[in-house]
Structure 1
Amino acid sequence: MARVYLAVQKQFGRLVALKVVSAQYATDDNFRKRFLQESQINARLTHPNIVQVYDVGAHEAYLYLVLEYIRGGDLNQRLDRGMQLRSLVGVIKDIGRALDYAHSRGFVHRDIKPENILFREDDSAVLTDFGIARLVDPKPTITRAGTVVGTPQYMSPEQVSGKELDGRSDLYSLGVVFYRVLTGDVPFKADTAVSIGIKHLQEPVPRLPNYLNAFQGVIDRSLAKKLAQRYQSGEELGRALDNISQAATLPNATIRSNVVTTQEIRAVGQNVLTTVRDPARADLHSRRHRKRRFGRLTLYALLLLTVVGAGSYVVVEQPQLISQALQVAGMAENPEVQETWSAAQSLHQDPNQSLGSIVASYRRVLNLDANHLGAADAVAGLASQWENAVLEALEQENLELAETKLAESMAAFPDDPVWSDLSEQVDDHRHAEQLLSSTQALLRSHGLSDIPSASAAIQAYQEVLRLAPGHSVASQELDALAEHYANLAASAADQGQVDEAINFLDRASAANATYPELDGVRGKIQQATTIRATIDDLLQQASAYRAAGALVNPVGENAAEFYHRVLAIRPDDVIAAQGLDEIVSQLRARLAALLQDRDVQAAIAVVDRAGGVGLDSVAVNDMRASVEQEILRRDTVAEHLGKARELFAQGFITQPQNDNVVAMLREVDRLDPGNQAAQRMLSRSAQRLAEAAQEAYAAGLADDAKYYLELALTVTPGVDAWRKLRLNWENSISTN
């Protein structure tokens, strides 16, 4: 259908692949029109695993495509040299992702085969020839001469029978490719294209070799005759392959399509193999051996015996020579990998080595062999080990060690998201230590008996425990405060100073409501003849403060503090407990109103006072979380607006996907409905698209013009002038 040339695109000075369509197609007017239209759309397929189309057009009688030049060869060429089994699984997953992307945009490839899977110099796999095969016939079959779309060996049953195709047809073809790379041959073979097609329609899926049994389920489902029984997406296929990798130990195999020849084996040494004396059998085996394609397992001498010994050769038991034979056959470990692995293991066992040095040594192994299971497991294990080390240091309240371990971990594994969470925990503990130190200094300066200082200290120590749960020093300091004020309360009660005793008991209870000595102090206070009147008076004052709206303010004269004094004396007082519950409900409503009005500072003040008067910690933490969520929302809105402005300046209005102006502003609208800045920028973006559409139309690029105008109307649907413009263009095009 086309020939490909290596060319230089002078405008950019870069090498490109120039694909020129055969004249028998290029002279067909209908084909030319469809080719140009669909290839222009194809040029917008931008995905890491799809070959980029730079340009498309016509010159005189020729149609052409300018494509990204891929230097790394195709899948067949890679298999000739040999590929690790895990690398091949990665290739299938990459192409599955490319297909999902293309299918989501209405493209069905129709010709998935090894020749259309290429490799960049960085070994990433890419799919080529998108959108070309589909131009020949919307409903192809293998029985129409000259209109074969696809390669018979890789066609799906519905493609063979000329039915309507969707993305699952491509996934079937990808399954054939996977079978081919695993076994060295396609699943269905015959002498004619029609016979091959019949086998695709009727014959059962062949069985894989025993050592590849783990993949049989994937092959069976990929090559299912019925669409509903196949994988419905490349992502689903990828998950199935991941499950196999996680659930089973895959053989450390090198798949190679070229046969390991007699000469290669003999090149290892004269003493490795002994020739069988039957020349007739040797000649028969040689003919069969040249036709055979198979995968070979690394370091499996038994497999070498099966492949070589069953015909013309017998393996001699000499380990060193066997190792050399395996290496020549593409089945042995690279000596450099072994040496690097040993060095990494030695470093790991040295307690004086840093995490960075150990990880770097294992990564050198992976640079040589990306599928080295030992090195990959070691790196994963080190990440988990250091994560646990950070958590253990925090539990032991050794902040310095935790910070050191975290810094090493983040340097060694910069892309691991777990460090972000751990970093927040370390920051919380650091804040807790600072708060603990300043609070201890406050009490040393003012003494435990200074009630305002003690009240502030109780709140601060409780905040330390929130930031660093179980912090032993903070717990001890609270117990010390509880003991001190329990003693003061008992002394005041003995002297008949009931009001004073209640105030001291309230502080003791706030510090630690479960402190054992509190019951004895309560008993002394309750023996006072005036206690009933005192409690009634406290409840009345609390009720009055609530009616006046003084729920938690001012300090010392609010409802919450008076209810707490009652509960300090009588913990089961129903009226006081109910009163505090009502205060919590009222504060939640007040907080919600403040957040609705975007008054974050006032909301923070409400939460701080709620904690300061000792309201239920669960309720206070819920309120604090609401405020933090609002702060995060505001920060995210500001961040997205800033990013949208940057993208607008760069011209990324609707592309790339999820990282463009419109995507950012839609997220702003979700977080902050009616945001004026976002609305203004959306309007400007739509205007920019409409201007681009008019420029394209003026330049004679009608398809591009319609595309950009549709985007503008998608962003801002209610612009009548653009709708009229679209209608005028459609009428003009139909007239022409």
Structure 2
Amino acid sequence: MTTGNTEDIPGYKLIKRIGKGGMATVYLAVQESFGRQVALKIMSSKLGEDSVWAKRFIHEAQVIAQLSHPNIVPVFDVGTHEGKFYISMEHVSGGGLDSKMKQGMPLPSILRIVAGVAAGLDFAGEKGFVHRDIKPDNIMFREDGSPIILDFGIVKQKSKGASHMTQTGTIVGTTTYMSPEQAQGHELDERSDIYSLGIMFHELLTGKPPFQADSDIGVLLKHVNESPPSLPSHLSILQPVVNKALAKNPEERYKRASHLIDHLQELEPEIKELLNTHSYLIHGSKPTEATSADLETIAQPIPDSLSGEATALHTLDTSQETIAWQTGDTAPVKHTSSKHKITEELEITKVLSSAKATIKDYSEAARNRRAKRAKSTITAAIFIAVSALAYIGYQQLYLVPNERAASEARLAEATLKTQRKIQSLIDDATTARQSIDLADLNKTNAVITIYHQVLKLDPENPQAQEQLDSLGAQYIAMAKQVLAAQTADVDLAESYRDRAQQLSPYHPEIPKIQLAIKNARASAMKQQLKQGEIDILLKVAESDITNSKGFSDAAHTKLQQVLHISPDNLRAKQLLREILDQLYQTTQAQIASGRTSGVQKNINSLERYYPEKAPVEKLSAQYQKLKRQIANTKTQNTLQARASRLQREKRNIHVNEELRNTYLQILKMSPSNRQAINGLNNTSEFEGKLASEAIQARDFSRTQQQIDIVEKYTPRNVLVKSLKAQLQEARHSNEQAIAALSDADKLLAQANTQSHKDRQATLKQVMVQIDKARSIDQGNPEITPQIKKLEATYVATITKLIANNDKRLIKSYFDDTAGQVWPSEKILKLKTSYKEKPKRVITGGF
């Protein structure tokens, strides 16, 4: 393949890229000098320009070069080309542990991985190295299935003179697999890697790491504070191993990784008993049949480099059914293959014994090398001692007395010179102490060097030792003062403590200060974790605020969580106030524009969260008013539609009343509604018309009712005054007309008692009174009845006169009735019949 000239390394042919990280890219390559495939790790050119990263990269190669072990990836070559650093390592082609874990693994395979990694860590720990990033991503497999530890980029050496790539208090590693002390930035040893191995062991057994949270900070807090969860009940036999590996206090863990293997060997009978009752494909999404490939993995022989005297296992009979189990407490199904069970038991025995054998082999070789070096040292020392004794003998036997005296004189002179030199040094140190600040450690080094020069000349010099002890006591006091400050500078206190221990190593306060520093660092770590959690919550809250179209309950919850952790956090208070003020202003604008969508939800949020209650109550009142207005408008529209329909109907009392009530409802909601006002006046006009009709009918009671209705609902309507005037005038006219008719009625009664001659004059007076009533109130309904009574009197009187044949009075009565309008034609018919009546002829004679 074409890799590009920027990644060409002389002596290597790059085949393909097989991995990439922030620090380097790993290629599958061929080392041309040996014709073998290798993993070529090439550091990023940009990082290569940084001396710290370059040193770390070379440091990884140097570490691996010192760790020649079957379970640690070997280095073949290291170098630079055109500013690019590279490491050539064994190419491991058996896959990574992270991918195998997803598929589920048999228990013997899990124990093989744990034992192999433990063997590698034990060897590294014995050499004084701490890996600091043990996790599934950094464990791969050779083709024979043996596990290999990779990635020694952040490894740390425990030896005093080592060049540390990181400082105490700095956190490096992967949070899921970090030890509590690593999470808190404390000094680490191999027990930190044992903790990480314990995390990985738990994950191998259950399918998930013991500590999980929504954030890295949350995971770190669980590492520091929480106990690991229990294994499923069928794996409880392994719980003590996991618990000891995951002890919070390093002192309670296995001191060496090999001790974890010892513990597993002690539990071997119980593990084999477990094999007899259960299946072993650990963790999976559901129970499945174990495949032949799974069983072959279980039966894979241990490589010679690991097994010592172990031999390859027999091939398994996979024709029998083998059932796997689920993660959790689901009861597994028993194997049906006895040969399978025997093979698994052998596998566990071989796994644990071979790991111990490897540890023993490599530990003994190391001890042999140390013994060989010690033997050489002792031989050289013996030679030097013999030579010295020979010289002393020569001196005693052959030096002449004069030479001895001269030597004594020279010794006395040298002693005096030394005493003067010591006094001069002490004077210089005293002078220097008066002008330096003890906080400046570099300057105090000069004074301490002077006192050390004194002790070099006179190891028992009390003055120098006293001054060093005094300086140590001062640094102890300074460390205490720093730790007592409200915000303790732990690193500074530790530097003072280190200086005090250097000056006065046996001072009784040093262990106390060390404990105080440890506690302060733990407190600082907790504060750092807390601040990290606060930063995450604030970042998420700000993101929610930015992405939310309205008020974000999620952002509010996050900010409340920040204030629960840190009640005085100004940023959280500021953001909280901003989103609440924005919510208030948005809601206020919605109400002002007459929009109601989402307003109630906003008001509910403000009622729960807004610090001032009065503005929210006012806003709520405005919203309720708006809702009423909208409801009124809707109701008005409905009423207006009803009014329009009633206006189109034929008007009667009932229709008019319903129409009036409709307009009154509209005016109740909107008093200034012009259309309703006009409509109400229209109904009053109809009532006025009815009132006029009642006046014509002289129904003054009904007239008054109609006027009262008009005045009640439209008091300012001009009809009210007009109708009242009409009613008053009609009543007055009616009274006068009634009086005239009453007189006419009395006269008519009088006439009926009079003679025909006198009656004629009285009836004329009756006629005058009726005409008077008609002139006053022509439409008065009492006039016609009175006329009828007068007509009846005339008809009765004329009829009698005709019977009596009183022609003169008959003619006179007919003349009186002429020209009058009578209710009937009785008088006219009487007159006509009288004229047509033949004259009677009287004959005869006296």
TM-score tier (shorter): 0.3 to 0.5
Q: TM-score if structure 2 supplies the norm length?
A: 0.33
Q: TM-score if structure 1 supplies the norm length?
A: 0.37
